[in-house]
Structure 1
Amino acid sequence: MRSVNEAENIIFNLAKPLNNQTDIETVDLLTATGRILASPVTSKLDFPHWDNSAMDGYAVIYQDVREASEKKPAVLKLVEDIPAGYQPQSNIQSGQAARIFTGAVMPQGADTVVMQENTRREDNQVFILKAPEAQEFVRHRAAYYQAGAELLPPNIQLNAPEIAVLAAAQCTKLNVFRRVKVAILSTGNELVTPDDNLQPGQIVDSNQYALAALVKQSGGEPLILGIIKDEPEALKQAISKAIANADIVLSSGGVSVGDYDYVKKIIESLGGEIKVNSVAMKPGKPLTVARFPMPNSSIYFGLPGNPVSALVSYWRFVQPVIKKCSSIAEGWQPKFIKAQTNDDLSSNGKRETYIWGKLDLIDGVYQFSAAGGSKSSGNLINLAQTNALAVLEVGKSSVKAGEEVKVLQV
């Protein structure tokens, strides 16, 4: 049995990023959200595109107003109004000014904007009542970004801020990495689908639905293979299909030591090398991880069949692997923080224990509340709204309410 840290090192080293030559596709900007950028992006535009005003006020020549005050205002002749989206027609001369609005193009000759609160207007004249700083409230062309330079680097996830930048830069076609393909299958003679008529002794397969949702949330593409009976030949065909079509395979059930647990033998018969047999964690001990050889090089996760065990194993090991394989440069690793627990937490101290619950930030302090009810790995009902797992490491049997605990954000 591997320790959690040993298993993590082995598993994360199996994960290899997608190829930046062969695993690329081009997408439209509107469908790029959540994708991983595969190549640097540049723009033909400067930002700002031109010198413009950062304030509603008056475009002036600084030398004309450098000594202005309420007692001795500078008096300038207004020659033009310049709203946003309008191309100025005047060249500002000494003694002149233009009314200008936020975002509008600065007129030729002007180098400073005086905010309107520091002025008084009378007919076609403006009185400057306070001297500005030189070039105040002027946003200069290319001050934020110069055309042709790298706008966004590769290997980042495209979220709302990046989408906004790309839209403003008129970059509407993007090279992104394809999504990591994750095959999902459930094993067990007792399993039925949610729309089946449930008979005594049968169990609804919730794992397939939960894992598919998690894969999507992790940025992967789930390939649903359904329920496979505990029959060696059927399992072998399903696993063979999975490793031929997916980067990562997730099966749930069939990896313990029961008479009908065939998965490990089938993995080996198909050329897979088992890297992890079990992990000293609770829940999630019967975790099997294998690597298949080229040309597919799939990573195989044989997850426990119990719903909570399957999800805890996913959050701890599979989610980081999907993100790393997707070629994101940073942020794929598990995210641990320290939090104050609102409940007494306990374990037997023999295995690293994960207690599911909810993490909130209250008055600047992270607080963890354990899910109510039974902590059985077969009880998925109290798993709803889980966003964190409290971690009790080996040798630590309890954490009292109010004390600090290590928490994995999920």
Structure 2
Amino acid sequence: MLSAQQAEALILNLVQPLDSQQDVEQVGLLSSLGRILATPVTSQLDFPHWDNSAMDGYAVRFADVQTCSADNPAILEVVDEIPAGAIPRKPIQPGQAARILTGSMMPDGADTVIMQEVVKREGDRLFVSTPPKPQEFVRQRGVYYRSGNLLLPAGIPLNAPEIAVLAAAQCTQVTVYRRVRVAILSTGDELVSPDQPLQLGQIVDSNQYALASLLVQAGAEPLLLGVVPDNPEPLKEAIAQAVHQADIILSSGGVSVGDYDYVERILESLGAEIHVRSVAVRPGKPLTVATFKREQGVEVSDGQETRDIRQSIPHSPFPIPHSPCLYFGLPGNPVSALVNMWRFVLPALRKQSGLVRSWEPCWVKGKTRQNLKSDGKRETYLWGRSHLVDGEYEFELASGSHLSGNLINLAQTNALAVIPVGQTLISSGESVQIMQIA
């Protein structure tokens, strides 16, 4: 059984990021929010585009005002007024000034701006009694960015600041990585979808919805394959189809040691290489991780005929991926499935999506408000809420039982407290490692 850290390292090593040549598309700027930039961006514009004023005031020549004082003010003639967006009409000659507003283009000849609050004006005459600093309140052309240099690197998520930069650079079409396609299937004869009547002994399939929601939040494209019964042939066909449709496959259920847990046997029959069978975490121990190569088709039989599974795959606007398909067999218990998603699947998804960094979960140190208990045999995750109080994170344990089948008290949580292997108690007020999940 692998430790959580060993499993994480192994999984991330298996991931092959999307190809920066083949796995890209162009989208409009307003459609690029949350997407991963696939190619570096440069601009032919300087930022600022020209020297401009950082203050409402007057554009002057420093040489005209550098020795002024209250007893000997500099007296200048105001010869122009430059509103924002206007081109200065006159260069500034010795003894002259121009009224200027914030963001307005500096006139030729002027090199300094004096705040309007520290001068006195009478008609066209300007009295300056306080000497400014050289080039004060002037934003020089190109001081923020020089044309031709790297503006934004590839492999970063596009959020509001980056989109603002692209808009300022007049980049209205953006090359981004396509969304990672993730197939989701749930296994079990006992499962029904939320819109079906619930019979005695049945369970509503919440995993499909929870996993799909996490994937959408992470910028992926979920492919919902629904519930597959505990029958080897339909399950084999569903997984085989998913191999040729998706970059990643998520199945929930069927990876434990029950009489109807067929997943591992099916993976081997389909030629998968299994890398992980279980991880020393609670909840979420029965985690299967495997990879499929896609060079050849997969043949399946319905008892009467054998066919290549690729013949029955629905049409997709994207070509079949060429990189190996990564498979995660998650536990069926809802909390276990979600913990494995947060801890292992989402980091892999972030790496595959083209992000160049920040794949791992977000860890912070804090203190717990309650006693946290474990049997010490596995790394234990307890769910609750983290709060930032006076600059320090505090963890508040969710009320109710912390069992892998109790989905109810997982609602409104935003963090997992981690109890290391070999430790059975973290007392109230003590330091705890916290994994942020929202």
TM beyond 0.5: yes
User: What is the one-letter code of the residue matched to 1:25?
Assistant: E
Shift of 1:219: 1.8
Matched, 1:278 2:278: yes
Shift of 1:358: 0.9
Residue of structure 2 equivalent to 1:353: 380
Residue of structure 1 equivalent to 2:411: 384
What is the RMSD computed on CA atoms of the aligned residues? 0.9
Shift of 1:108: 1.0
Question: 1:4, 1:93 → 2: CA distance?
Answer: 72
Residue of structure 1 equivalent to 2:218: 218
* Structure 1, gaps ≥5 residues long: none
Residue of structure 1 equivalent to 2:427: 400
Question: Among the aligned pairs, what percent are the same residue?
Answer: 61
Matched, 1:267 2:267: yes
Matched, 1:59 2:59: yes
Match of 1:344 among 371, 384, 387: 371
Shift of 1:67: 1.2
Shift of 1:393: 1.0
Question: 1:201, 1:125 → 2: CA distance?
Answer: 91
User: What is the one-letter code of the residue matched to 2:356?
Assistant: A
Shift of 1:294: 3.6
Question: 1:311, 1:280 → 2: CA distance?
Answer: 16
Q: 1:201-225, CA deviations, whole angstroms, 9 ceiling, x for partnerless residues?
A: 1111110000001111122111111
Q: SS at 1:79's partner residue?
A: strand
Matched, 1:155 2:155: yes
Match of 1:305 among 332, 347, 352: 332
Question: 1:361, 1:70 → 2: CA distance?
Answer: 51
Q: 1:155-198, CA deviations, whole angstroms, 9 ceiling, x for partnerless residues?
A: 11111110010001101111111111110011111111111111
Residue of structure 1 equivalent to 2:112: 112
User: What is the one-letter code of the residue matched to 1:83?
Assistant: P
User: What is the one-letter code of the residue matched to 2:12?
Assistant: F
Q: SS at 1:245's partner residue?
A: coil
Residue of structure 2 equivalent to 1:32: 32
Q: 1:277-312, CA deviations, whole angstroms, 9 ceiling, x for partnerless residues?
A: 111110001111111124451110000000000000
Poorly superposed stretches of 4+, deviation over 2 Å: none
Residue of structure 2 equivalent to 1:173: 173
Residue of structure 2 equivalent to 1:4: 4
Q: How does 1:101-140 map to 2 (within 5 A)?
A: 101-140=101-140
Question: 2:395, 2:223 → 1: CA distance?
Answer: 34
Question: 1:403, 1:238 → 2: CA distance?
Answer: 47
Shift of 1:71: 2.3
Question: 2:402, 2:57 → 1: CA distance?
Answer: 64
Question: 1:360, 1:240 → 2: CA distance?
Answer: 44
**Is the Cα contact below 8 Å between 2:82 and 2:98 reproduced in 1?**
yes
Q: 1:100-119, CA deviations, whole angstroms, 9 ceiling, x for partnerless residues?
A: 00000111111110011110
Q: How does 1:190-269 map to 2 (within 5 A)?
A: 190-269=190-269
User: What is the one-letter code of the residue matched to 2:413?
Assistant: T
Shift of 1:6: 2.0
**Is the Cα contact below 8 Å between 2:243 and 2:294 reproduced in 1?**
no
Q: 1:363-401, CA deviations, whole angstroms, 9 ceiling, x for partnerless residues?
A: 100111111101111011111122211111110000011
* Structure 2, gaps ≥5 residues long: 296-321
Question: 2:359, 2:207 → 1: CA distance?
Answer: 23
User: What is the one-letter code of the residue matched to 1:352?
Assistant: E
User: What is the one-letter code of the residue matched to 1:19?
Assistant: D
Residue of structure 2 equivalent to 1:82: 82
Question: 1:173, 1:83 → 2: CA distance?
Answer: 32
Q: SS at 2:350's partner residue?
A: helix
Question: 1:133, 1:213 → 2: CA distance?
Answer: 56
Question: 1:294, 1:9 → 2: CA distance?
Answer: 24
Matched, 1:367 2:394: yes
User: What is the one-letter code of the residue matched to 2:200?
Assistant: P
Q: SS at 1:369's partner residue?
A: strand
Matched, 1:315 2:349: no
The count of aligned residue pairs is: 410
User: What is the one-letter code of the residue matched to 1:314?
Assistant: M
Question: 1:350, 1:143 → 2: CA distance?
Answer: 57
User: What is the one-letter code of the residue matched to 1:142?
Assistant: G
Question: 2:87, 2:59 → 1: CA distance?
Answer: 14
Q: SS at 2:244's partner residue?
A: helix
Q: 1:238-270, CA deviations, whole angstroms, 9 ceiling, x for partnerless residues?
A: 101111111100000011111111111111111
Question: 2:329, 2:293 → 1: CA distance?
Answer: 17
Question: 1:12, 1:112 → 2: CA distance?
Answer: 54
Question: 2:4, 2:147 → 1: CA distance?
Answer: 48
